[in-house]
A and B are shown apart, each in its own frame.
Chain A
Amino acid sequence: MTSQVSMNSAEPGELTYTADEMMTVAAARALRDGMTCFVGIGLPSAAANLARAIHAPGLVLIYESGTIGAKPAELPLSIGDGILAETADAVVSVPEIFNYWLQPGRIDVGFLSAAQIDKFGNINTTVIGGDYGNPRVRLPGAGGAPEIAASCREVIVVVRQSTRSFVERVDFVTSVGHGHGGDSRTKLGLKTKGPTRLITDLALWEPDPVTKEMTVVSIHPGVTRAQIQENTGWSVKFAARVAETPAPTSNELEVLHELHARTNRAHSEAA
C-alpha cells in the first residue's frame, strides 16, 4: 500500500484521504494539550504540528537540535531548520538537550520511526541483512533514538507496515522497546513505559499489558484483518475487542492540507 492510495473507496459525500494522512491524524490524536513531546522529522513533525493547530495549542515541541518549545508555522525539512530556533522558547546545546532535558525523564512522549520493528516494539535503524561488518543495507544509525526510547515517559512509534519492516526479531536492536517482552524493561533498569502505541498505515497497536507483545487494538476504516496479517512478519494478535479507527475528519484533513501547502510555499520561496 503506498501513501498515494486512497484508504477508502469514496462514496458520494465521503472524504478521501491517504494512508499517510490517516497515520498522521492518528498520531496527532494521541497527543494531549500541555504535553512535552520529543519530535523527529517527517511524519512525527507533521503530526505534532497538526495536534498543536487543532486540539493541543500548548503542546511543547522539542527537537534534538536543542530547540525547546519550537512553534514552526510550516514544517521543517531538517531537525535544525532556522524556523525552529527562531520560534523556540529556548535553544540549548546538543549535550544539554540530551543530558538535562531528555535523560532525567522530564519529557512526556517521544516519537520514533523504524526501518524494522519486531513484535515487542524493538527498533532497528542500523543495518539490515548480512552481518554488522558486512551488511546488505547500511541504515543511518541511532541518532537520538536509543535515549528517546529509554528516557521519554512513553514512546509512540509510527511506521508503515510490510513484511520487510514488521519482523519477528529485528536484525539489530538500535533502540529498545519491550526487549524480549514481559518485564524486560525493568530488568534493563529502564523506568519508563517504552512504546505504548504503534501507529501504522493499517491499524493501531498497543503492547499487551503482561506479555508486552504488540497487539492490534483498532483497525483503520476499509482495512481487513487479513491485510494486517499479510503485512506482518509474525502471527498477529488482535485484542479481545478491536475498534475501528475513526476516519480523519474534514477539519483534521483541512488543517493538515493547509500545513503542507504552507510548507511547500515556504520551501519554494526560500529556493
Chain B
Amino acid sequence: MAEIVSLAEAVERAIHDGDAVAMEGFTHLIPFAAGHEVIRQRRRDLTLIRMTPDLIYDQLIGAGCARRLIFSWGGNPGVGSLHRFRDAVEHGWPTALEIEEHSHAGMANRYVAGASGLPFAVLRGYNGTGLETLSTGHGTAPTIKPITCPFTGETLTAVAAIQPDVAVIHAQRADRSGNVQFWGIAGVQKEAVLASQRSVVTVEEIVESLDPRPGAVVLPGWTVSYVAHVPGGAHPSYALGYSVRDNDYYVAWDAIGRDRDAFSRWLEQHVYAVGAGQL
C-alpha cells in the first residue's frame, strides 16, 4: 500500500545512486518537482529512461545525475534542441552520457512488455532504419531484433522489455489510501509504474475519495510505493484541470540551456537554493 510522505522522503527512500529511473509524462503531467528533488539530493550514475527527455532530463543531465539515457525523442518541443543533452553527447559535459535510442513505438512497447511481465514485445517497426543496426553495434546488449511470427511466418520486430528500478510520475489526485487518478493525455505512465519495482507519484491534491472521471486512469494504491502532495509539481508542464502548459518557460529555457554558466546559475537559484517544500 502506498505511503503518503513528503517529496524529499519519497525520493530519498525510492531512488538510489545507480538506479534505472523512468520519469514519465508525455508533454502533460511531467514530474518536474520530483526531478528537481533528485538533483537536490545529488543522485549520481542514474540510468534515465523517458520517451521524451524534455527539459526535465536536460536539467538532470546538466546537473550530472545521469550516466546513461534511454529515450526516443530528445528535443525542446516546438522550440529546438535540448542543449544540456547535446553538450553531454557531443562534449561529455558535465560527464559522458551513454545513450540507447528507440522510436516512440519501440519505447512504448518496451514499457508494455515490462508491465506485462514479458521479456519482449512485438511490433511492426524499425525495418530498414539505422536504429535497428545501432542496437547491436555499441557494446550493449541488443534491444531490437527480428522475430518470426509462429503462425504466419512473417518477420516482425521484437524489442526488449524495460523494467526500471523506479517510476516517477505526476497525477492530478490521490486519495488517503494512496489510490492515484489522472486524466487527459495519459501517456505511458500506467505502463511505466507497472513495469517498475518501485514508484513515486506526486499529486496536485489529496482527496478523501476519488470520484469517477471520464477517461481517467486509476492506479490502485497497492501498485504505488510513495505518494507526495506537490501542487504545481508538473510545472512548466501542466496538469489538465489544474494548470496550463507554461509555453514561455519552454521558450526561455533555450537561452538558459544553451550556456553552461547560465545553466549553472539557474541550477543554483532555482533548484539548490529551493527547499523541497517551497516549490
Contact = CB atoms under 8 A, between A and B. Distances in A.
Interface residues of B, number: 58
A173 B247 contact: no
B183 to A, nearest CB: 8
B101 A176 contact: no
Given A133-B138, A189-B155, A94 B188 contact: yes
Contacts of B74: 138, 140-141
A91 B186 CA distance: 8
B181 to A, nearest CB: 15
Interface residues of A, number: 56
A137 B81 CA distance: 10
Contact of B129 (A66, A67, A176): A176
Given A91-B186, A95-B109, A133-B138, A143 B78 contact: no
A151 B103 CA distance: 13
Interface in A136-171: 136-147, 150-151
A41 to B, nearest CB: 5
B155 A99 contact: no
A76 B123 CA distance: 30
A77 interface: yes
A270 interface: yes
Interface of B: 26-28, 51-52, 71-75, 77-79, 81-82, 85-86, 89-90, 101-105, 108-109, 111-112, 123-131, 134, 138, 154-155, 184-188, 190-191, 215, 217, 238, 240, 244-248, 250
30 contacts: A65-B187, A66-B185, A66-B187, A67-B185, A77-B79, A78-B77, A78-B78, A82-B238, A82-B245, A85-B28, A85-B240, A93-B191, A94-B26, A94-B51, A99-B109, A138-B89, A140-B82, A141-B71, A141-B75, A142-B101, A142-B131, A143-B73, A144-B103, A145-B103, A147-B105, A151-B124, A176-B129, A184-B128, A267-B248, A271-B248
Interface of A: 41-42, 64-67, 76-82, 84-86, 91-95, 98-99, 102-103, 126, 132-133, 135-147, 150-151, 172-176, 179, 184, 188-190, 267, 270-271
The 8 A-B pairs with the shortest beta carbon distances in the complex, nearest first, are A80-B27, A140-B75, A143-B73, A78-B77, A77-B78, A98-B105, A176-B128, A95-B108
